[in-house]
Structure 1
Amino acid sequence: MRVRNRVPGAAPVREPSSVVDTLHGRPVPDPYRWLESADDPRTLRWLEERARDHAREAAGWTLRNRLDARIRRHLDADLWSAPVHRPGLLLATVRPAGAEHPRLVAFDVPDDVLSGASPAAVRADRARVVYDPAAADPSGRTTLDAWEPDPTGRLVAVQTSAGGVERGVLRVLRVADGRQVGPAVRGVRYSHVAWTPRGPCAFYYVRRDDEGGARGVWLRRAADGTEVFVRACSGPGTVPGVRVLGGRLLLFTESHGTGHRTDLWLADLEAGPPEAPDLRPVQVGEEAETEADLGPDGLLYLRTTLDAPWRRICVTHPDRPGPGNWREAVPQREGETLDSFAPCGTAGSPELLVVRTRLGIDSATVHDARTGAPVRTVDLPGEGMVSGPATAPDGSVFLNYADVTAQQRVLRLAPGSSRPLSWPPGAAPPPPAPRVERTVLWCRSADGTRVPVTVLTARGAPPPPASAGNGPGTAAPPAEPLPTLLHAYGGFGRPRRFGFSATVLAWLSLGGRYAVAHVRGGGDIGRAWHLAGAGRAKPRAVEDLVAAADALVAARLCERPGLCLSGGSAGGLLVLAAAAARPDLCSAVIASAPLADMARFERLGLGRMWTREFGTVADPADFAALMSYSPYHRVLEGAVRTPGLRYPSVLLTGFDGDTRTDAAHPRKMCAALLAAARSEEGRPPALLRYERDVGHGPRAVGRAVGLAADAHAFAAHRTGLSPRRPARGRPWP
C-alpha cells in the first residue's frame, strides 16, 4: 500500500485498497473496508496519524480553554434525579457539583413526610451512599446505567457498564450497606427490572443478546441467582420490556424496530405462579406506539398513537385490556405531541398529568381522569422541557424540568396545586446564566414543505426578527450576522426539545447564535412528520437541513463562512449528507459518532435494528434511497467526478466502545474525506477526535466537557467566533 501526502505538513494518507461490492447490479466501492477492523495494525497506525493531525490543529483553537471553563461553570450545581419511594425510605441519584458521576443515595424518612420530605430529612450529609461508581472504579470508566429498588426498599438492582460499551453487569445490593447479594448477571444492556410483589425476593429482567439464543424475559432469585426463562422475544428486531404496575400486574412489552410499533400484554401475578404468568393482550399487531400505567382508581391508562398521530390517552379495565374495550380519556391535540403522562390524585379523585410539546417547548396540564377535562395548568418555571413524570404514594407528581439557561432540577407538584416546588427542599439555585431570546424562522424545503428553525441568541447580541426567512409574514429587516451553529437530528421520531446544554449556553454567551432545524424524520411536528423523513423518504430530511442553512444566510442571521452544521449519531449522518450534497453550504461540520456508510450500516453496531428507520440494503428501492445520500459514498463518487473538491472543514468524533453506531463509520468517513477533498491553508480537510474507553452513551463529566470544548472550539475557529465583538454583540461575561 503506497503512502502519499496531499497536504504539506499533514499526516500521510494511505492509498485505498480495491474492495468493490456489487449490490442490485451496481458496483459499490468500499476502499476503506479495512478500517472496520478496529484492532488491525494498519488501523492503529492510521489512528495515530489522525491523533497527530487533531493535536496539531487543536493547538490553534484559541477559545478552547475559555469554552471549557464556561461549560464547567454552567454545570457547577448538584444534579438530582426524582426520588423513588419505599416504606420509610427515599432513593435518588445525585451528582454533586464538581463530581464526575452520579451516585445512588438513600434517605431514611418517616412515611408521613415521604413526598414533601422536609429539608432536614434530605440534607446531603444525611444521605447514605448505596453505590458510587467513582468509588467502585477510580479510573472513571464505569457508569451507573440504571437502578430499581425492590418493594420493601431493602434491596436494589443496579446496572453498570465500563468503557462505554453499554453492555454491563446487573447486581443486587443491600440498601443498608451497599453489599452485593447473590451472583451478578453479566452482559445486560439497559435491562428493564421488575421485582415480584411478594414471595421469595425475585425479579424479572430482560436479556436482549443471549449467546445461547434465549433472548427475552427471565425471572431470577436475588439470593442465589437461580433463574427460569419466562418468555422469548417474538423476533430478532424486537426489544422486550417488563414492569410491575400497582404491586400486582405484570406488563410485558415489545418494541419492534425503533419504536414505530409496540405490543403489550398484561398478567395478574396473583392469579398464577410468577414463572408462568398468564399474559393477556393489551395491543398486538397494531402499527402504533403505546405505553401503559396504572391509575389510583385501578384502571389502566394508555398513551398511544393508535388512531392519533399526535397521541392521546385511553383508559380500560385491567381485566379487559384489549383495544376493543378502550375509552378515550384525553384526546389528541393537533399541533402538539402528547409526550408523557402520569396518573395521579387519589382513588376517589383520579387525575392525569399530561405533558405536551410544540417545537421543543413543553407545557403541562392536569386533567380529570374520569372526564378528560383539563382542571388546571401547571405553572412551569420557564420555556423548557419536562421529563420523567412519576407519581408518589400521596398522589403528588415528581418531574424533571430544564431549559436553555437552567440545568435539570426536580420539581414536586402537590395534589391540587398548579405550582410545582423544587425538590429537595432548599436545593441551591442553578448558576447564573444569560437571558436567551428564542424565535422561529420558517423556510421552504425542496418540495415546498415549510420547515421550522428555532434560533437562540443571548441577550447582548441582536435577536433575529420574529418573522424571518421565506415563510409567511413580512420581509425580515436586516439583522447582524453572527457565527452560528445549526443543529439537526431528524431520526427515529425523536423531537428536538430545549432542555439544558452547558455547551450551547457557553457558545451563546461568547456571542454566537444557535439554531435547530426541525427537519422531517424527527418527531417535532407529530408522527406524520417523522414518517415523511424516514425510510425511502430520508433524503427529505437532508433537503430540509439544506433549506434551513440557506434560510439562515438569506435572513442575514449568519454568513456562509460563519456557519457550522452540528449533529450526533443519526444527526451526524444528516449533517454529513448535507455537506456532501452541498459542499458550499457552510464553513464547518461537527459530526459526533455519526452513521456514514449506509451500504453497510446493518453490519455495524446496532444497525440491524434500524431498518424500519432507514430501510434495508436487501431491498432495491431502499438501497437506491440509501445510496442517494450515504455520505461516505457521495464523497467517494465526488472524488471520481471532481478530484480535489473542497468540502467544509469536518470534525468527526469516534469512540472505540461505541456499540450503537460503531466507530468504523467516522473512521471510514474521515479516510474518504482526506483522500478526496482539497485542503485549505495547509490544514487537512477532516479531523478525527478518537477516544478509547468510552462509548455512545454516558461518560464521566470531565470527558464530556473535554469533548464538548474541543468540538465547539473547532467551530469557533472555523466560523470566526471571538469574544471581542462590537458592543452590539457583546457576550455575556
Structure 2
Amino acid sequence: MRITSILAVALSTSAIVAATPVLAQTEEQAEEAKALTYPETKTVDVVEEQFGEAIADPYRWLENDVREDADVAAWVAAQNSVTDAYLATLDGREPLAASMTALFDYDEIEPPVEAGGKYFYERKSGGQNQAILYVRDGKDGEERVLIDPAGWSEDGATALAEWKPSSDGSLLVYAVQDGGSDWRTLKVINVATGEIMKDSVEWVKFSDLAWMPANSGFLYSRFPEPEEGAAFQSLNKNHTVYMHMIGKEQSRDIKVYETPDQPELSHTATVTSDKEWVVITSSSGTDDRYEITLVKVDANEIEPRKLITGFDHNWSLIDGVGDTLYFVTNKDAPRLRVMKTDVSAENPEWVEIVPEHVATIDDAVLVGNTLAVDYIDDAKSRLELFAVDGTPKGVVDLPGLGQVKGLDGSAKASSGYFAFESYNRPATIYSFADAGAPTVWAQPDVPFDPESITVSQRFYESKDGTKIPMFLVHKKDLDLSEGAPTLLYGYGGFNISVLPGYSEPKMAWIKAGGVYASANLRGGGEYGKEWHDGGRLQNKQNVFDDFIAAGEYLIAEGITPKDGLAIEGRSNGGLLVGAVMNQRPDLFTTGHAAVGVMDMLRFDRFTAGRYWVDDYGYPNKEADFRKLLSYSPYHNIKDGTDYPALIVSTADTDDRVVPGHSFKYTARLQALNTGNKPHLIRIETRAGHGSGKPTDKLIEEYSDIYGFMADAVGLEIAD
C-alpha cells in the first residue's frame, strides 16, 4: 500500500522516425550547428476570450497527435535534426554515456512477493534493457526466469509492468506496457510450466490487480475502448472495475463496480489477504481524498456497500483480518494515523491504533501480527514496528539517511520485505519480522564506492520565511568552498515526496565533479497535508518561490558559482522549470524541462489531465484561471529577455502529459527574442512519460541532456 498518489508515467506507438544523429563533424560544421537556425514554425490565428482576456494560441496545431498529423510529424523531425546536430558538437556526451553504461552495470533487484511458498521478484542486470521476473521455490531456493520481456519488441521498449501472483503461487497475472504507454494488456502465466494462457485483457489503465479465491479470476480496472485514432489524446472517463474469469474471453468479464452518473471517478480494487473482502477505492482526481466501497467475496451476488463516503479524506487500506479492516487516514490527522474498524457491525466504529506523529506516514503493512509503519521524517525514511493493538515494538535500524521503498507484507505472512536506497547507493533488499534488526536478502555489487560520495541535508529559507529541506550530494573529496557546477532538482506537487533515491545519470554528473541538489518543495507530501496544500491551487507560487530560493541559497553559500547553476524537473517538475525560467531567467544558467505541463489553460482537455485540477485548479473558473495564467510557462515567455540555455524533452507516445505541451512551449520560446543561448527540444520515439523506458534509451537521453547542461555550466567531463 502506497499512500501518495502519482502524476507521472507513460504511453505508446510509433510513427516518427527521428533524424539520424550526426556522429562526426568538421570544425566548420560544428560552428554552423552551434549557430542554431531553428526550424520555422507556422502560426495559426487562434484567439479566445476567457474572463475578459484575449488568449492567443498561435501554435494550437501542435497539439495534434504526431501519429495522425503529417505536419506535426514533419515539425518533430525538423526539430530533432537541429537538436541532434547541436548535441553532436558537445564533447561531454560520449564520456557521460560511457560513465552511465558503467554505472548501470549491476544487479538492480526489487523486494520479493511471497505467494504459496514461492518468491517472485524483478531483477535487471547491467546491459539489460528491461527487468526480468524471477521465481524461487522457497525463500532461499534456486531462482528461475519466469518472464523475460527482452524478445517482446526489437527496440526493447515493450516492458513488463504490474504483476500479481495468485495466493497459492500457481498463476500470475501480468501487464504488458508498449512504448511507455499508460495503456496495459493483461496476460496470465502458469508458474510451474511457464505456459502463457489464452487470457488477454485490453484497455487497462491506472489499475491494481487482485486475485479472487481458488484462482477463479482476478479484478482489474479499465476505461472503455477509445475511438479509432484517439487512444493517446482523448479524455479518460468511466473507469470501471471488472472481474476476469480465467479461461474466458474478455467480452464475458463481469462488471463489479462503476459510477456512470459520475464518469470522472476512478476506481481500483484490492482483496484482503484472507480473501474475505473486496475493497474498492474511488477518487475524483489526484488529491488523496477517497470513498471506500466494500463487496463481500463469498456473497451470492455483487452487492457493493459504502464504508466511507464524501471524498473528504485519505483512506488507504493496509489489510484485513476477517471483518477487521486496517487503514491509514488523514481524517483529523494531517500527518496521518492508523485506524481499524469492524465492518460486520451495522454502524462500524473507528478505533485509533497508531496516533498521528510529528513525522508523516508514507506507507504501512501488516506482517502477521506486526504493523510496520514507514514514516517520512524531515524528507527521509524512518521505519517503526507496532503490535496490532498499537503497542510500540521498536524502530528498525536503517543503514543511514535514505528511503524505504517497496514495503511489502500481509496479515498472512511471517516476514516482510523492503528496499532501502539513498543518493549514493542503489537499493538493498531487507527482510524483517517483529522487532529486531532487518537482515539483508539481496545486496547489489555496485561499480563504485558509495563511501566516496557524501550525502548531507541542509535547510534554507524561502521567500516567506518557510524552512525548506534540501539534500546535497557530491564526491567526498570535492571542496565545496570553491564552488562547483550544480544540478538542482525539484518537483513540488501532487502530495509526492521526493526522498533520497539512487539515479545512475545523476551519479554520472556527481562523479564528473558536479554537485547534485534536491529541494523538498511545498506541494509535496514530506510534511503532510499542510505541506501539500501550501503548494497547490492558489498557493502554487510558493513552489516556484521555494525553488528560486534554493538556487539563491546555493549561489550565496558558494556551493555553485553564479554561472554554474543547472535546474531539472520532470512532469509537474517540467512545469516548475518552465515557470521559474520565466520568473527568474537571470538566476539560472541552464535547465532541463522534461515532459512538462506547459499550457496551464488547456491541460484538462487531454488524457489524464482532468485529474490534475486538484492541484492546479479549473481553467474554466475565473479565480483559478487568473492564477494559472499568472505562471503558465507557455503564456509567460518574456519577449526581449535573455533566457538561459534550455533543453526540453518529451516523447511521441506520452499519453500522461501529451507532447503538445512541450511542442507549443518550445515553438514560442524559439520564435520570440529570448537571447542567443540554445533553446532546443529532444523528442524521443516509442517512449512515454517515463516508465518502461529501456536502459539504452535512458543512456542516450541523459548523456544528451546532461552533456548539454554540463557544456553550459562548464562541467568538464573527462574521457
2:456 is matched with 439
CA pair 161-366 structure 1, distance change in 2 beyond 3 A: same
1:390 corresponds to which of 408, 412, 437: 408
Q: Distance in 2 between matches of 1:361 and 1:525?
A: 11
Aligned residue identity for 2:41? R
Tell me: CA distance 1:257–1:9, structure 2 relative to 1, closer, same or farther (3 Å): closer
User: Residue 296 of structure 1 contacts residue 344 of structure 1 at CA under 8 Å; is this kept in 2?
Assistant: no
Tell me which residue corresponds to 1:692. Answer: 685
Match of 2:603 in 1: 601
Please say which of residues 662-671 and 289-298 is displaced more in the overlay.
289-298
Find the aligned partners of 2:58 and 2:194 in 1 and give their Cα distance.
Answer: 52
Instruction: Check the 8 A contact 2:163/2:174 in 1, yes or no.
Output: yes
- 1:337 aligned to 357, 360, 382, which one? 360
Tell me which residue corresponds to 1:156.
172
CA distance in 2, matches of 1:7, 1:19: 33
Report percent identity of matched pairs: 28
Is the 1:601–1:608 contact (alpha carbons within 8 Å) kept by the matching residues of 2? yes
For 1:438-587, list aligned pairs within 5 A.
438-463=455-480, 479-587=481-589
Comparing 387-396 and 542-551, the one that deviates more = 387-396
Distance 1:320 1:395, change over 3 A: farther
Query: What is the identity, as a one-letter code, of the residue corresponding to 2:642?
Result: R
Post-superposition CA distance 1:528-562 (Å, at most 9, x none): 11111111221221122112111211111112210
Q: Alignment partner for residue 393 of structure 2, among 355, 375, 380? A: 375
Residue 318 of structure 2 aligns with an amino acid whose one-letter code is D
Q: 1: distance between equivalents of 2:496 and 2:611? A: 16
Equivalent of 2:258, from 232, 253, 270?
A: 232
User: Which of residues 109, 112, 117 in structure 2 aligns to 1:80?
Assistant: 109
- Partner in structure 1 of residue 349 of structure 2: 325
User: Does the C-alpha gap of structure 1 residues 674 and 214 become closer, same or farther in structure 2, counting only changes over 3 Å?
Assistant: closer
Alignment equivalent of 1:423, drawn from 422, 441, 447:
441
Aligned partner of 1:171 in structure 2 is: 187
Q: How far does residue 377 in structure 1 lie from its aligned partner after superposition?
A: 1.6
Count of residue pairs brought into register by the alignment:
670
Q: d(CA) in 1 for partners of 2:456 and 2:444? A: 30
- Offset of residue 11 of structure 1: 3.1
Aligned partner of 1:474 in structure 2 is: none
Please list every run of 5 or more consecutive structure 1 residues that lacks an aligned counterpart in the other structure: 110-116, 464-478, 725-732
Match of 1:667 in 2: 663
How far off is 1:190 after superposition? 4.0
Shift of 1:455: 2.1
Q: 8 Å contact 1:159–1:190 — kept in the other structure?
A: no
Pair 1:203-2:221 in alignment:
no
Match for residue 359 of structure 1? 378
Shift of residue 91 of structure 1?
Answer: 2.0
Contact 2:423 2:473 in 1 (8 A): no
Displacement of 1:574 in angstroms is 0.6
**Aligned Cα RMSD in Å?**
2.3
| Deviations 1:122-174 (CA, angstroms, capped at 9, x unpaired) | 3xxx41x3322112334312111111122232221111121222212111222
1:70 correspondence with 2:105: no
Q: Which of 545-554 and 664-673 deviates more?
A: 545-554
Post-superposition offset of 1:459: 0.4
- 8 Å CA contact retained: 1:493, 1:521: yes
CA contact (8 A) 2:96 2:717 kept: no
Deviation (angstroms), 1:300 = 1.9
Report the equivalent of 1:727: none
Cα deviations by residue, 1:309-361 (Å, 9 ceiling, x for unpaired): 11111122242496x61111111112x2111111124xxxx221111112331
Relative distance call for 1:71 and 1:318 in structure 2 (3 A) is farther
Question: CA offset at residue 211 of structure 1?
Answer: 4.7
Aligned to 2:288: 260
**Contact 2:282/2:292 (CA < 8 Å) preserved in 1?**
yes
CA distance in structure 1 between the partners assigned to 2:536 and 2:316 by the alignment? 22
Contact 1:130 1:176 in 2 (8 A): no
Q: Secondary structure at the match of 2:189?
A: strand
Secondary structure, counterpart of 2:636 in structure 1: helix
Residue type of the partner of 1:230? V
Query: Deviation string for 1:500-528 (max 9, x for gaps)?
Result: 11122221111111112222111122211
Once the two structures are overlaid, the 10-residue window that deviates more, 300-309 or 372-381, is 372-381
The answer to whether the Cα contact below 8 Å between 2:487 and 2:567 also exists between their aligned partners in 1 is yes
Q: 2:714 aligns with which of 706, 711, 720?
A: 720
Separation in 1 of the partners of 2:254 and 2:312?
Answer: 31
Give the 3-state SS of the residue equivalent to 1:504 in structure 2: helix
Question: How far apart, CA to CA, are the structure 2 residues paired with 1:6 and 1:542?
Answer: 33
CA contact (8 A) 2:490 2:521 kept: yes
The verdict on how the C-alpha distance between 1:217 and 1:677 changes in structure 2, with shifts beyond 3 A counting, is same
> Which of residues 306, 311, 314 is equivalent to 1:289?
314
Q: Confirm or deny: 8 A CA contact 2:489 2:568 kept in the other structure.
A: yes
Cα drift, residue 590 of structure 1: 0.4
- Cα shift at 1:53: 1.8
Report the alpha carbon displacement of residue 19 of structure 1 after superposing the two structures with TM.
1.5
Aligned to 1:251: 279
Q: Are the counterparts in 1 of residues 491 and 573 from structure 2 also a CA contact under 8 Å?
A: yes
How far apart in 2 are the matches of 1:72 and 1:209? 41
| More displaced 10-residue stretch of structure 1: 589-598 or 54-63 | 54-63
Q: Distance in 1 between matches of 2:381 and 2:540?
A: 27
C-alpha distance in structure 2 between counterparts of 1:321 and 1:166, whole Å: 40
The two structures have a TM-score, normalised by structure 2, of 0.89
Measured against aligned partners, the alpha-carbon deviations of 1:198-241 in whole angstroms (never above 9, x if no partner) come to 3x721221113445986311122111222221210363332211
Say yes or no: does 1:400 pair with 2:419: yes
1:182 partner amino acid: K
Determine if the alignment matches structure 1 residue 51 to structure 2 residue 70: no
Summarize the Cα distance change of 1:451–1:103 in structure 2 as closer, same or farther, 3 Å threshold: same
Secondary structure at the aligned position of 1:443 is classed as strand
- Please give the alpha-carbon distance, in whole angstroms, between the structure 2 residues aligned to 1:219 and 1:443: 51
Amino acid of the structure 2 residue aligned with 1:277: I
- The 2-side partners of 1:711 and 1:8 are apart by 19
Contact 2:42 2:59 in 1 (8 A): no
- The 1:339/1:215 distance shift into structure 2, 3 A limit, reads closer
Distance in 1 separating the partners of 2:213 and 2:599: 47
- Output the CA distance in 2 between the equivalents of 1:82 and 1:439: 26
Q: 1:8, CA displacement in angstroms?
A: 5.0
Q: 1:72 to 1:359 in 2, by over 3 A?
A: farther
647-656 or 201-210, which deviates more: 201-210
Unaligned runs of 5+ in 2: 1-31, 228-236
Q: Aligned with 1:147: secondary structure? A: strand
Amino acid in the other structure paired with 1:561: D
2:291 equivalent to 1:280: no
Aligned equivalent of 2:333, options 308, 328, 332: 308
Q: Distance in 2 between matches of 1:495 and 1:364?
A: 16
> What is the DSSP-based 3-state SS (H/G/I as helix, E as strand, rest coil) of the residue aligned with 1:494?
coil
* Distance apart, 1:369 and its partner CA: 2.0
Tell me which amino acid in the other structure corresponds to 1:224: K
Note if 1:655 corresponds to 2:651.
yes
**TM-score of the aligned structures, taking structure 1 as reference length:** 0.87
For residue 544 of structure 1, give the secondary structure of its aligned residue in structure 2: helix
SS at match of 2:290: strand
Alignment check: 8 A CA contact 2:491 2:569 kept: yes
Q: Residue 33 of structure 2 contacts residue 85 of structure 2 at CA under 8 Å; is this kept in 1? A: no
Q: Structure 1 residue 394: deviation in Å?
A: 4.4
Aligned to 1:108: 137
